[in-house]
Amino acid sequence: MKLAIAVVALTLGACASMQTASPPVSSAAPETAPAIAAEPKFTSEARWETAGYNNDEIVYTILITSQDSRILRCNTRMQGYYLNAGTKTSIADQQISTVFPNQQVQAGIWLDMDQSSGSSYQVKCRPA
């Protein structure tokens, strides 16, 4: 059983780098390369941004910045809240992004969420 867990952990470590954030993550994956393949290097950041006339629209967005020479496939999960007839209600979503070497992408823009209720996100990337 211990051996199986170790194999799973090694596989995950080799194939994917994960960043979980709330507040946002700013560090890249470790630079030391595992035996099988180097972990993808990237940073991610979540922002509440204002938009629209007088900035009265608030949107949630997650940015992924590659610091890797390979193309990355990233899976972004976010969780937040919205007000449903005044009741704080949980909402979640997931997006897949392709990030080209040393480029930045917006994994998504999410509307209608309640900023004051908070949010969290998680980004996992692997070489494409």
Partner 1 sequence: MKASAAVLCVLMLAYAALAASAEQREPWIEPHDPIAAANDSDRYAWRLFVALNWPADPASGAPDSSRTLGADSPVVWQTWQNAKAIFLPDGRDPGPWSGGRNADVIHAAERFDGLPLKPDIPTRHIVDGVMTPLTDPIAAASHLNERRVNRVSFTYIRDQQLYNLDGQLKHYRDREPIVFPTGARQVKAQWRPIDASQKSRYFSIEITLADGSRRLYGLTALHLVTKDLPAWFWATFEHVDNASRPGAASWHVDFENPPGDGAGHSGFGPIPQDLGLQGTVWENYRLGGTMTSYLDSQGRPAVLGNSQLESGVQPDTVSCITCHARASIRIQNGDWSRLPIFDEGDSQPALPGGSRTAPRKGFVGTPRPEWFETSAGDDPASAPYLQTDFVWTLGDARLSTVKAPGENSKAKGVMP
102-121 residues in contact with partner 1 (CB under 8 A) are 105-113, 115-116
Interaction mask 55-74, partner 1, x per CB under 8 A: xxx-x---------------
Give the nearest distance from C-beta 27 to partner 1 in angstroms: 14
Q: List, in sequence order, every beta strand (DSSP E) within 67-128.
A: 72-84, 87-99, 104-110, 120-127
Give the nearest distance from C-beta 3 to partner 1 in angstroms: 40
User: CA 59 to CA 128: how far, in whole Å?
Assistant: 29
Q: Of 22, 106, 99, 11, which Cα lies nearest the Cα of 59? A: 106
Residue 101 is a binding residue for partner 1 (CB under 8 A): no
Give contact residues for partner 1 (rule: CB under 8 A).
23-24, 45-57, 59, 82, 84, 89, 91-93, 95, 105-113, 115-116
